[in-house]
Each structure stands twice: as C-alpha cells, then as structure tokens.
C-alpha cells in the first residue's frame, strides 16, 4: 500500500482534523474494504503523531521555552482528548465490521485495538490529560537541577560524569551536592506523585478495574506474560543475578581499595552503575559531540551498512545529543512517521555511558527505520515495548566488535576490552535495580491500596533496595536512600514501564551469544525481527530474532554463567 498523508491539516487546530475523521467514519465499510480504510486511517493518524513528536521534541529540548510549553499544553488539553475520542470511534467501527477476519498484517493491531476499546472511558480523557501535564512538571523540576562546581554550573548529567574523579572525597562532595538538589525538591516531588497516583487509581476505577495494574496491563498490550510472571522473574534475579552482581561490586571495591562501596562510587540517575574506574585513567571516548556522532556512524555501518545510512540521515536534523541547562533529563528515541525519520534525544557529556546511550537509542531508531520500510500501517511500526528494548540493548552488544580505533571506534584495544567489560557489568547490575523498580510499582498500585503515605513509599523502596542491591553502603544517608524513587522518571511518567528493560536484556544477551557463534546470521535474524514491527506476537518476535522469550531461573543461570566467564569474575 502507498502512504497518502492528508494535506491541509494543522494538527494543533482540531477543526482542520475532525473532517478527515468524519469522512472515514461516514465511509461504508465491508470486510473487503478494511485494508484500504485502515491505510487511510493510518495516514491520518501519522499526521497527528508527527505533530505530537515535534511538540514533545520542542518541550524536552528546552523545558524553559514558553512557546513550546504553550503548544504542549494545547496538545495535551485540547488535541489529544479530541484525538482519543476520534480514535475510539474508529476502533469501534472497525471491530463491528461483519465478517472481518484479521490476517497476519493486522492480527496484532486488532488485538490491541480491542483491548484499548474495552478500557476506553470518556470520563478518563481529562484525567489522562492531567496526568500528562503533571508528568511534564517532573521534567521541568529535574531538568532545572544543577550544581555549582569550581565556579561553573553543571547539569545533573554533567555532575554524574564528574563522579569518575579518583579522589573519593571529591566524588562524595559532588554526589552530596547533587543529592541536596533533589532533596530540596523532595516535598514538591512527593506532592506531585500523590496527584499522579490519585488520578491513575481513578482512571482504573472508571474503567472497571480493581487496581491500576490491571488497567495498565491491558493498556500496554501485555498479552504474552502476566503479573505473576514478573514475580517469577524477580525470584530468578534474586537467586541467579544478585550473587553475580554482589561479586562484581565486591571486585570493584577491592580494586579501588575501598573499605565499602558508597553511593558516590555509582551514578546519580543510574544508581546501579559504577562511575569510578579502578584504572588510573578513566575511559574518555570523546570531547565533542561531533566526534560522538561521526564515530557512531562508523560503528553502525560496520554492524550493517544500512544502519550507517540510517544514522547518517538522522544527522541532518534528527539528533539532539549534548547536555545543557533546561534540557529535560535522560534520553529517548521518537519517531516522525510522516517524515519517515527517527529522532534521538540524550544528554552527552563525554563518558562511555553516553556512548552506550547512543548505541541503545540507535537500536531503537533502526527498529523504526526497518519497520517503516517493511510495513505501511502506523501501528505496525512499533513492536511491543519488550521487543523494542531488545532492539536497543542488542545494538549495544552487537556493536562492541567495532569500538576500537582500529575498527574506526573510540578506544585503544585495551580500553575496548575495559569498555565492553563495563557494558556487560552494567547489564548485570541493572537487573537487580530493575527488580527494585518493578516490585515497587506492583506494591504501589496493588498491595498499597490504603490512602497513600509517603513514608510507606520510602520504606518500601528501602526494603526492596536492601533485598536486591546488597553491597552498596548507605550508612548515615537515610534521606538519600529512601527517596531514591524520586530519581527515576519512569515512576512518575510511565508506570510499569521498566520490566521491559529486564526482559529485553535477557533477549539481548541471547542475541549476543548467537553473534559469538555466527555474527552475520545473528545480525540477519535481528534485522528480520526488527522489520516485522508489530505483525507478530512478543514471543514470535523473540523467536524471529533467534532467541527465547523466558525469565525463569534456568535461563538466567545460563546467561549469568556466560557473562561471569567472559568477565572472569571468581
């Protein structure tokens, strides 16, 4: 099918959009007509998604931009509510077509449409708008944080890079300055989250669910696994990953000749990752963002020439990589479905972690690029998020043979080995932290049904931290430890979106394992799964990539043996 995007639309003026929806809703629809009608709907929705992506880009690139803020608020309060109603009417029309049987191209999207139609309630539209606006407040608060260091203002991502200083007293001072910034906002963040929690509970109740987890499970299209499976996964992490993670922390502590591993020896926004390198000179892959872009282009092209071409095209207006004041925290990849381009946003400051982030988001961008070329329906560009993260995490590992300067990358041969060891260690250390995040949210939205008390949230975070994250000494740092949930934006903005990373990491480890046996075949299977987009179930997508969708002790034990052997951790 050929895309035919409608013209004459200003996506921030619903009056120019509504007639196009009305025309589609008025069109007679029989089973034989569904495919063409779906394409026209897809093309119309693509225009809205393109505009939404641009507004979100503007508001995250500069959280202090008043004009962007006004456009964002209009989008959230006026356009998306109207869009939600129109989309529900379209789903209702499609699902009522007599005799329509989905084929391989439409099976997954119709399943998702049915789930979304089932949970749709018009009274939730203003609540969802309020949630989006409240989430933006979190970005504004965190994006405005900075410390003063040696006469200069440093953003939190820049402060995190400074934690690589070999002097423990310097690391401690920087970390405490950053924590003070968060703690100054503690009451504001507590109040903000309670507002989000109340609205989410009401959204779930309006849709007829006992709790928000049940609602969110349907909303996120989790058809291949259950909440009970998440607890199976957490159990496997506790028994198969935590021992290796503890050994990694202990090894680092010994190599640094530290009495204990303190939180300033790890990250601020990534508190599971060591920032201090036991080697005399820390990894420093780049100074200028231009170098980061150019070198990444070479690496991506070595993995596959098409990936290099995709990234080269993105360098023409679809990258925003450097850290700066008033830029939203974190990193993400977004899609512009009319332009046909992915876009990467991040906060680069010169560390290997920045390299990992770009490789990760590059995987997301290639996923969109591959699916966009193979599929024509908007909903099929985006696979289940659990597999989207396989795309990104696998790229971190698949690209590793090309990180050395001899291959056009960033590092000497010795530093390449150090960087890859850091990558593997970070992947292992992440899994227990993921278990903290996921367990916290299951408790928060299901078990903690009483009127919420912030002290209960703090205590639960502390309990889960101690269970899954042994080896980090938080002595005399109660406030900083118990408020750790403030420093992870997913809890505020995308509830329950975190176990995806853990499940995907297992997939990525398996893609890497396959690449050690036959690199070209592993990349070919990876690309095949990317191009499938949303036309296969989660389990089927893992299979296309040549890996198993699983999360029990047996699978994790195999993968941890592989990593332990590679790292030579005793």
Using CA atoms, how far residue 246 sits from 44, 253, 496, 562, in Å, is 51, 10, 26, 17
Q: Is residue 247 part of a domain?
A: no
CA–CA separation, 294 and 282 (whole Å): 22
Least confident of 100-104, 106-110, 162-166, 228-232: 162-166
Indicate whether 94 belongs to any domain. Answer: yes
Give a yes or no: residue 32 inside a domain.
yes
What pLDDT, on the 0 to 100 scale, is given for residue 277? 80
Of 435, 395, 389, 419, the C-alpha closest to 556 is 435
Q: How far is CA 340 from CA 10, 310, 312, in A?
A: 19, 11, 14
CA gap 103, 123 in Å, rounded: 33
Confidence of residue 569 (pLDDT cuts 50, 70, 90): confident
User: Is 263 a domain residue?
Assistant: no
Residue 505: pLDDT band (50, 70, 90) is very high
* Confidence (pTM): 0.90
- Enter the tokens of residue 417: 């080995």
Residue 1 has pLDDT above 60, yes or no: no
Q: What pLDDT is attached to residue 75?
A: 94
pLDDT of residue 452: 77
Tell me how many degrees the CA angle 223-229-234 measures, rounded to the nearest 5: 140
Residue % of the chain over a pLDDT of 70: 100
Contact 165, 107 (CB under 8 A): no
| Cβ-based neighbour number of residue 447 at 10 Å | 11
Residue 568, classed as helix, strand or coil, is: coil
Model confidence over 303-353: pLDDT tens digits? 999 999 999 999 999 999 999 989 988 899 999 999 999 999 999 988 888
Indicate whether 104 belongs to any domain.
yes
Residue for token pair 């504004």: 140
- Which helix (H) or strand (E) segment is 152 a member of? strand 152-155
State pLDDT tens for residues 117-128.
999 999 999 999
The Cα–Cα gap between 480 and 186 comes to: 10
At 349 the pLDDT is 87
**Residues 69, 3: contact at Cβ < 8 Å?**
no
Condensed to tens digits (0 to 9), the pLDDT of residues 442-490 reads 999 998 777 778 999 999 999 999 999 998 999 999 999 999 999 999 9
pLDDT given at position 449? 72
* Closest listed residue to residue 549, CA positions, set 529, 563, 524, 566: 529
Predicted local confidence at residue 68, as pLDDT: 96
Q: What is the pLDDT of residue 570?
A: 66
Check if the beta carbon of residue 146 is closer than 8 Å to that of residue 156: yes
Cβ neighbors of 49 (< 8 A, separation 6 or more) are 335, 337, 338, 378
Q: Rounded to the nearest 5°, which phi and psi values hold at 286? A: -160, 155
pLDDT at 451: 76
> Residue 537: inside a domain, yes or no?
no
Q: Which pLDDT score is estimated for 269? A: 85
User: What's the chain's average pLDDT?
Assistant: 94
38-89 pLDDT, tens per residue?
999 999 999 999 999 999 999 999 999 999 999 999 998 999 999 999 999 9
Residue with tokens 């390198």: 277
The closest alpha carbon to 504, from 356, 357, 394, 381, belongs to 394
65 in a structural domain? yes
Q: What is the mean pLDDT of residues 283-300?
A: 96
> b/e per residue, 166-200, with b = 16+ CB within 10 A?
eeeeebbbbbbbbbebbeebeeebbebbeebbebb
> What is the number of domains present in the chain?
1
% residues pLDDT > 90 (the chain)? 89
Phi, psi of 336 (to 5 degrees): -110, 95
- Give the residue numbers spanning the domain of 48: 14-134
Q: Is 315 helix (H, G, I), strand (E, B) or coil?
A: coil
Q: Distance between alpha carbon 265 and the CA centroid of its chain, in Å? A: 24
Taking only the tens place, the pLDDT of each residue in 178-222 is 999 999 999 999 999 999 999 999 999 999 999 999 999 999 999
Residue 204's pLDDT is 96
Q: How far apart are CA 264 and CA 249, in angstroms?
A: 13
Bridge partners, 558 (sequence order): none
Q: What is the pLDDT of residues 532-553, one digit of tens each?
A: 999 999 999 999 999 999 999 9
What local confidence, expressed as pLDDT, does residue 282 receive? 79
| 26 part of a folded domain | yes
């Amino acid at each position: 099918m050929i895309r035919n995007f409608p013209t004459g639309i200003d996506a921030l003026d619903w009056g120019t959009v509504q007639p196009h929806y009305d025309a589609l809703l008025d069109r007679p629809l029989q089973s034989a007509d569904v495919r063409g009608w779906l394409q026209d709907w897809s093309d119309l929705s693509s225009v809205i998604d393109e505009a939404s992506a641009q507004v979100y880009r503007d508001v995250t690139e500069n959280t202090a931009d008043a004009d962007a803020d006004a456009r964002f608020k209009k989008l959230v309060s006026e356009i998306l509510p109207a869009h939600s109603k129109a989309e529900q009417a379209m789903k209702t029309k499609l699902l009522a077509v007599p005799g329509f049987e989905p084929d391989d191209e439409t099976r997954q999207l119709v399943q998702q449409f049915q789930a979304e139609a089932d949970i749709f309630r018009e009274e939730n539209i203003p609540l969802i708008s309020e949630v989006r606006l409240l989430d933006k407040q979190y970005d504004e608060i965190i994006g405005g944080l900075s410390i003063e260091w040696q006469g200069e203002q440093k953003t939190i991502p820049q402060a995190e890079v400074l934690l690589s200083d070999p002097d423990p007293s310097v690391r401690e001072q920087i970390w405490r300055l950053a924590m003070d910034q968060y703690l100054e906002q503690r009451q504001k963040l507590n109040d903000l989250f309670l507002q989000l929690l109340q609205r989410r509970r009401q959204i779930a109740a309006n849709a007829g669910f006992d709790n928000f987890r049940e609602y969110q499970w349907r909303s996120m299209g989790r058809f291949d696994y259950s909440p009970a499976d998440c607890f199976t996964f957490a159990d496997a992490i506790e028994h198969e990953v935590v021992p290796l993670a503890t050994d990694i922390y202990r090894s680092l502590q010994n190599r640094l000749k530290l009495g204990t591993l303190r939180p300033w020896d790890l990250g601020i926004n990534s508190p599971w990752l060591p920032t201090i390198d036991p080697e005399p000179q820390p990894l420093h892959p780049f100074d200028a963002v231009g170098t980061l872009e150019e070198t990444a282009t070479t690496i991506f092209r070595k993995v596959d020439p098409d990936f290099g071409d995709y990234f080269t095209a993105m360098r023409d207006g679809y990258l925003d990589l450097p850290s700066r004041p008033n830029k939203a925290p974190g990193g993400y990849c977004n899609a512009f479905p009319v332009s046909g381009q992915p876009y990467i946003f991040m906060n680069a400051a010169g560390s290997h972690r920045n390299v990992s982030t770009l490789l990760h988001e590059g995987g997301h961008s290639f996923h969109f690029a591959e699916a966009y070329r193979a599929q024509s329906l908007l909903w099929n560009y985006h696979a289940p998020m659990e597999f989207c993260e396989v795309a990104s995490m696998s790229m971190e590992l698949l690209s590793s043979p090309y990180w050395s300067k001899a291959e056009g990358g960033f590092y000497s041969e010795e530093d390449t080995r150090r960087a890859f060891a850091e990558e593997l260690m970070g992947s292992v250390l992440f899994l227990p932290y993921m278990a903290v995040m996921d367990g916290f949210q299951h408790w928060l939205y299901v078990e903690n049904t009483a009127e919420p008390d912030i002290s209960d949230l703090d205590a639960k975070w502390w309990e889960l931290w101690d269970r899954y994250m042994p080896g980090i000494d938080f002595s005399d740092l109660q406030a900083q430890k118990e408020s750790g949930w403030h420093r992870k934006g997913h809890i505020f903005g995308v509830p329950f979106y975190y176990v995806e990373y853990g499940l995907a990491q297992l997939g990525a480890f398996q893609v890497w394992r396959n690449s050690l046996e036959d690199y070209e075949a592993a990349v070919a299977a990876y690309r095949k799964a990317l191009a499938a987009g949303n036309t296969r179930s989660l389990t089927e997508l893992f299979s296309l990539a040549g890996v198993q969708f699983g999360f029990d002790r047996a699978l994790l034990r195999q993968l941890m043996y592989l990593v332990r052997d590679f790292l030579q951790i005793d």
